[in-house]
């Protein structure tokens, strides 16, 4: 099982409630999904939608939106906010199952797979692959990088890329955090064609703690010639 129960606790305490679309997701979708958007419609699956920050973007684009999220508390809130999506936003563990019909044009994940260990991420990427149409696109944003300062925080959990029990910073109280490097990402995405892979590094000067944030954005395609 991939889902860290700490997330349910965060949402019952009303923390981690991001409700505005993430700017990297907006840019990546417009940069890499023109054929899907211009066709109109299209089906999108979000893995770990949290408080639903990205929902307004996909609705504005006229796409049919589906999501799997591990926290029952946040899914209940989303069901109240978007009653027409009650059958489309499900409680579940995306490293184990995908309850919807396949044939998705797009699967997106912003900082959700990266809260699981390597084995669970591999499962989730396989499920996403099987859920996509031929030529469908996977967008992963904010997969934390080994160059993130908090890679040295907390303690090792399950494998060399995964840590847990961070006591300070933004990863405190959220369970597992996975940190990738280029080689690891290429290894995880062997089945896909990698379209774009970028690492974002941000150093903080104020407050003066010199903290470095680092994460990856990756866009990958399910090849057209898979059986």
Ligand X SMILES: C[S@@+](CC[C@H](N)C(=O)[O-])C[C@H]1O[C@@H](n2cnc3c(N)ncnc32)[C@H](O)[C@@H]1O
Positions that interact with ligand X (CB under 6 A): 2-3, 7, 18, 22, 48-50, 53, 68-71, 93-95, 110-112, 115-116
User: What angle is formed at CA 111 by the lines to CA 110 and CA 116, rounded to 5 degrees?
Assistant: 130
DSSP 51: T
Tokens matching residue 101: 């019909």
Closest CB to ligand X among residues 116, 162: 116
- Beta-carbon contacts of 135 under 8 Å, excluding residues fewer than 6 positions away, are 221, 222, 223, 224
Closest CB to ligand X among residues 52, 136: 52
Closest CB to ligand X among residues 53, 85: 53
DSSP 143-181: EEBTTSGGGGSSEEESEEEEEE---SSTTTTS--EE-B-
Alpha helices in the chain (DSSP H): 6-12, 23-32, 34-39, 55-60, 72-81, 118-131, 182-188
Closest CB to ligand X among residues 71, 145: 71
Shortest distance (Å) from residue 224 CB to ligand X: 28
Shortest distance (Å) from residue 193 CB to ligand X: 24
Shortest distance (Å) from residue 22 CB to ligand X: 5
Shortest distance (Å) from residue 134 CB to ligand X: 26
């Amino acid at each position: 099982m991939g889902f860290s129960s700490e997330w349910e606790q965060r949402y019952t305490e009303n923390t981690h409630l991001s409700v505005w679309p993430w700017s990297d997701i907006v840019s990546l979708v417009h940069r890499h999904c023109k054929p899907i958007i211009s066709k109109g419609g299209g089906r999108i699956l979000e893995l770990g939608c949290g408080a639903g920050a990205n929902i307004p973007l996909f609705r504005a684009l006229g796409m049919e939106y589906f999501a799997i999220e591990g926290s029952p508390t946040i899914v209940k809130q989303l069901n109240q906010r978007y009653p027409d999506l009650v059958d489309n936003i499900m409680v579940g563990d995306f490293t184990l199952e995908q309850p919807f019909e396949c044939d998705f044009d797009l699967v997106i994940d912003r900082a959700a797979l990266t809260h699981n260990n390597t084995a669970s991420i591999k499962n989730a990427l396989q499920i996403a692959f099987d859920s996509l149409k031929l030529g469908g696109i996977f967008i992963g944003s904010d997969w934390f990088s080994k160059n993130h300062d908090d890679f040295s925080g907390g303690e090792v959990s399950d494998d060399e890329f995964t840590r847990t029990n961070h006591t300070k910073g933004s990863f405190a109280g959220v369970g597992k955090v996975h940190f990738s490097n280029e080689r690891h990402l290429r290894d995880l995405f062997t089945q896909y064609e990698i379209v774009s892979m970028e690492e974002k590094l941000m150093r903080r000067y104020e407050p003066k703690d010199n903290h470095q944030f680092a994460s990856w954005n990756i866009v990958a395609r399910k090849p057209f010639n898979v059986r």
